[in-house]
Structure 1
Amino acid sequence: MLRDDINNAVKDAMKAKEERKLSTLRMVNSTIKNADIDARGQGKPPLSDAELLGVLQKMIKQRQEAVELYNKGGRAELAAQEREEIAVISAYLPKQMSEDEVKAAISAAIAETSAVGVKDMGKVIGTLKAKYTGQMDFAKASGLVKAALAG
């Protein structure tokens, strides 16, 4: 399980005295525990690995936004710190799909759901999320799906 991999990496980072990696992994564990607590509050079981991938992607997206803001503010050292955190978190995500692979997956999902217009976009995105969570950026995929269905 992904949780076990992260916990083992925390131990390894402690032994190797890798401070940045250790603090990032502890932050990841904390975020996962908070998400589990939220799920339990809603009467749901602990997050599955697929749901954890979504949490990790959200963490990466937050850091990417922070990098942009730090760069605009002239804080290169903080931007570099955020990039290091992105690298640590990204190691636990599956390989990201190329743009061509994303387009092929979208075409397949459109055919599978028999989508004919923009009103069917939710079905297509739902199918993509079920199959490719953690492997594609759904913000970008959403625009591609919309263009494919509108065109």
Structure 2
Amino acid sequence: MSVKNQLREDMKQAMRSGDKARLGVVRMALAAIQQREVDERIELDDAGVLGVIEKMIKQRRESVEQYRAGGRQDLVDKESAEIELLSAYLPEPLDAAELAALVDEVVAATGATSMKDMGKVMAELRHRAQGRADMAALSAQVKSRLG
């Protein structure tokens, strides 16, 4: 089942069970997916849907930092709960050893030897590790490997 269909099924289930928090998050995710599809006039595949969900999680993490700095624990709790619900739709994250092996494999496959090749390596990594790794951390690994 595709991620988008899973979201739709979870929305129906949340409606039936009266889980308002889950229903709100799922509806928000579906709305963000639909907005991107309308804006770009495309039908998102699973990788695109995972990209939208990752972006939503990133936004919420940034919000959590801001709310913590402002002393708003109630909003920190709300955003953290949303992060947890959205994270359930992402695939199992790669551990450090798997990430290092993936970086080595992609660097070898693309023939990258210097920082000039970083874009090529990151494009391939983004494709292979979508939803399973933090791209900023991956970028740092690639820089250290190529630099």
Alignment TM class, shorter chain as reference: over 0.9
| 2:43 alignment partner, SS class | coil
1:102 to 68, 79, 99: 99
User: What stretches of structure 1 move > 6 A for 4+ residues in a row?
Assistant: none
| TM-score w.r.t. length of structure 2 | 0.96
Q: Does 1:122 align with 2:119?
A: yes
| 1:58 alignment partner, SS class | helix
Corresponding residue of 1:19:
20
CA distance in 1, matches of 2:96, 2:76: 26
Q: CA RMSD in A?
A: 0.8
Corresponding residue of 1:57:
54
* Identical positions, percent: 38
Unaligned runs of 5+ residues in structure 2 are none
Work out the number of aligned pairs and report it.
146
| TM-score w.r.t. length of structure 1 | 0.94
Q: Give the letter for the 1:52 counterpart.
A: V
CA distance in 1, matches of 2:14, 2:40: 29
Corresponding residue of 1:28:
29
Structure 1 residue 114, shift from structure 2 partner: 0.8
Unaligned runs of 5+ residues in structure 1 are none
Is the contact between residue 39 and residue 47 of structure 1 (CA under 8 Å) also seen in structure 2? no
- CA offsets 1:14-60 (integer angstroms, 9 cap, x no match): 111111111011100100000100111xxxx3111111111110100
Corresponding residue of 1:73:
70
